[in-house]
Structure 1
Amino acid sequence: MRIGWLVLMIACASAQAEEHGVKEISPGRLVLKGGEMAVGIGPAPSKIERVLIVIHGRLRNAETYRESAEHAAEQAGQSATTLVMAPQFLNETDVARHQLPDSLLRWHGDDWMAGALSTGPNPESSYAALDEIVARLSDHKQFPDLKKIVIAGHSGGGQVVQRYALLAHDQPALEAAGVSIRYVVANPSSYAYFNEQRPVAFDRAQCPGFNRWKYGLTDMPVYAGGQTAPQLESSYIKRDVTYLLGQQDIDPQHPALDKGCEAQTQGAYRLIRGHNFFDYLLRRNPQGVNQRLVEVPGVGHDGDKMFTSLEGQKVLFQQ
C-alpha cells in the first residue's frame, strides 16, 4: 500500500561519521509542522493492523532499532500485519557533519530526549513530533484496518517513551476509531517521578536537581502545557505502559548508565531502578494502574535481545 504522507528519499550522507556523530541517516522523510523528520520505515503490509513506532537511544541509530523491531515482528509471526517506523531525532552536529539540508528537524545535543524544542528549521517539541506521527495514523482512508499503535524504546529510547507516555497529548480521533496505544519502556537509566520521594536516601544539598525535569516534574518543557503533577499522574496510570526489564541489566558501572546523582537516587542500576519506580506507582495508586512490569531472563543492556526475546515479542505484539 502507498503511505501518502511519507515521502521516501535517499539520504546523501555517508554511512560513517566521526566519533560521537550519528553513523547512518535514515532515508525516509516525514513532513511535519516544524520541518522534515528523518525516519526509517519497514515494508508496508497490505493490511496494517498494528504500527510499531520504535524510538532509538542516545546514539540516534534509528535504522538499528528498526531492524530489531522488524526481526521481532518476523519471529512473532506478525510481519504480515505490522508496519514498523523508527523516527530519527537528529541533532545539530549530525546535520552539519552529514551536510544535510536545512529543512531537517534537529535538536541541541540530547535535548530531544526530554521533549525540548528543535533548534531548526522551526521550533517543535520532540514529543509534539511524535504526536503528529501518531495523529496521522488516524487517517482511516490510509489505515482502514489499524487496531493498535505500540510506541517502544530501549535505553535512551526507553527514557523518551516513559516521559512521552507521561506528557503525551490525547488522541481523540484514534480513541473514537477504537485504536489503542501501548507504551513499552525497556531498560531506561531513569524515570520521571511525580513528587520528591525517592527510593534511595541522599543529601538534597548535594543534588539540587533531583526533582527537575526529566527526573521530576519541576521545570517541565513547554509541551507539558501547564498541567499539574496530580493531573499528569491521573492520566499516566490509565495509560497502557509495560516496563520491560532485562534481568541482567544490573551493572552499576555500565558505560551508558546515567550515574548522575539525580539518577542514583532512583537505584544503583537499571533493573532495580525499574522495580523501584513501578513499586512507587503501586504504593501511590492502590486502586490500581493500567501498567505492568515484565522481566527478560538472561538479557542485560541489549535492545535487540530485549525486543526479540519471547517476553519482548509478547509485550510488543500482545501474544
Structure 2
Amino acid sequence: MNKWLLMLLFTCASTQAAEHGVKELSPGRLLLKEGEMAVSLGPAPAKIERVLIIIHGRLRNAETYRQSAERAAELAGQSASTLVIAPQFLNETDIALHPVADTVLRWQGNDWMAGGLSTAPFALSSFAALDQIIERVGDHRQFPDVKEIILAGHSGGAQVVQRYALLAREQPALTAAGVKLRYVVANPSSYAYFNEQRPVAFNHAACPGFNRWKYGLTDLPVYASGQTAPQIEGNYVKRDVTYLLGQQDTDPQHPALDKSCEAEAQGAYRLVRGKNFFNYLLRRNPKGVNQRLVEVPGVGHNGDGMLTSPEGQKVLFGQ
C-alpha cells in the first residue's frame, strides 16, 4: 500500500446515529492542511490507474456511495485498477451526535454543498478540500500510475460537483503529469447559471435570490475570490463534464427535490432541469463545449441505479 494510504487513520466500526445526523461516521481520516477529513476508502488495488472520488448527497452517507461506486467499478471490470474515495462532509449536528476529535473538519448545515467554509478546526472551503484531495491523488510521486481522476456525485453530491467544476482552481501539476480530470453530474436538483436567463418564466420580484450563488454567479463564495463571471464560464465550458440524467427522475413533488422559486425557475423536475441547463450551455457556446448529456433509461432518483447502470458505467469508466 502506498505512503498516502498509510496516512489514513482508521477508527473502529462506525457509530450508529440518532435522527437528523448521519447514520454512519466514515472510519477513515485524511490529513489536510487545515484538519482531518472524514473519508470512506475502498480497497487499494496494487496498481492504481484511476481514482474515483464520489460525493455523497444531503444525507452525507459516504459509505453508501462508496459501495455503489465500487459495484459500478466491478461491473465495468475496472475494480482492479480503480481506487474509490468518498469524502464525508460532516456538519455540526453530526459532531454533536457523534463526538470526534477536534481536528476533524465540519461545516454548518449544508454549507459544504455550495463551497462554504468549515466551522472548525479552521475555515476551509469544501471546494478547497476537494482541491487538496485531487492534488494528492494526482501526485505521481505518490500515485505513479494514475492516469485519470473522476469527480462524481448524485443528487446533492451532483450539485457539489457542478458548482466545483464551475469554480475549481486550475491544477497545472495534473496537466504536467498527464492526469485527466473528469466530472460526472448525476440528477442534481439545480444548477448554477451564468446570467439571469432562465428557462421558466417566474416573478422576479418574488424571487430576489434567483441569480445568487448557488443558483447564479452573484454573491460568490470566498473560494471564488478574484474570478469574474466570464472567466468562470470560459473555464467551465472547457472542462470535461458529463450530465448523467435518469429518464424517470420526473417527479415534480419528489420529497428531496429543491422546490424553491430559484430552482423552479430552472424547470419542474430534475430531468427537465438538466436538459434545460445543457441546452442553455449549447446556446451560449455555439462553437461547442467539452461536455455531454447522457440519459439513463428506466432509472429515477436512485444513486445506485444511476452509477451501476450500463450508461453510468460507461460514463464513469470510459467503457
Could you state the TM-score of these two structures normalised by the residue count of structure 1? 0.98
1:1-319 aligned within 5 A: 1-4=1-4, 7-11=7-11, 15-319=15-319
Task: Point out where structure 1 has 5 or more consecutive residues left out of the alignment.
Answer: none
Equivalent residue of 1:231, what SS?
A: helix
Deviation per CA, 1:49-89: give whole Å up to 9, x if none: 10000000000000000000000000000001000000000
Equivalent residue of 2:53, what SS?
A: strand
Asked if structure 2 preserves the Cα contact closer than 8 Å seen for 1:14 and 1:98, the reply is no
Deviation per CA, 1:135-173: give whole Å up to 9, x if none: 112321221111000000000000000000000011111
**CA distance in 2: counterparts of 1:12 and 1:202, whole angstroms:** 51
Following superposition, the deviation at residue 101 of structure 1 comes to 1.2
> One-letter code of the match for 2:284?
R
- How many residues align? The count is 319
Percent same amino acid at aligned positions? 76
| Higher alpha-carbon deviation: 105-114 or 6-15 | 6-15
> One-letter code of the match for 1:133?
I
Asked if structure 2 preserves the Cα contact closer than 8 Å seen for 1:8 and 1:27, the reply is no
Asked if structure 2 preserves the Cα contact closer than 8 Å seen for 1:13 and 1:99, the reply is no
Following superposition, the deviation at residue 13 of structure 1 comes to 7.4
Could you state the TM-score of these two structures normalised by the residue count of structure 2? 0.98
Equivalent residue of 2:190, what SS?
A: coil
> One-letter code of the match for 2:169?
H
Following superposition, the deviation at residue 309 of structure 1 comes to 0.2
Equivalent residue of 1:271, what SS?
A: helix
Asked if structure 1 preserves the Cα contact closer than 8 Å seen for 2:14 and 2:26, the reply is no
**CA distance in 1: counterparts of 2:14 and 2:231, whole angstroms:** 46
**CA distance in 1: counterparts of 2:142 and 2:17, whole angstroms:** 36
Equivalent residue of 1:237, what SS?
A: helix
Equivalent residue of 1:198, what SS?
A: coil
**CA distance in 1: counterparts of 2:215 and 2:5, whole angstroms:** 35
**CA distance in 2: counterparts of 1:8 and 1:161, whole angstroms:** 24
Asked if structure 1 preserves the Cα contact closer than 8 Å seen for 2:138 and 2:149, the reply is no
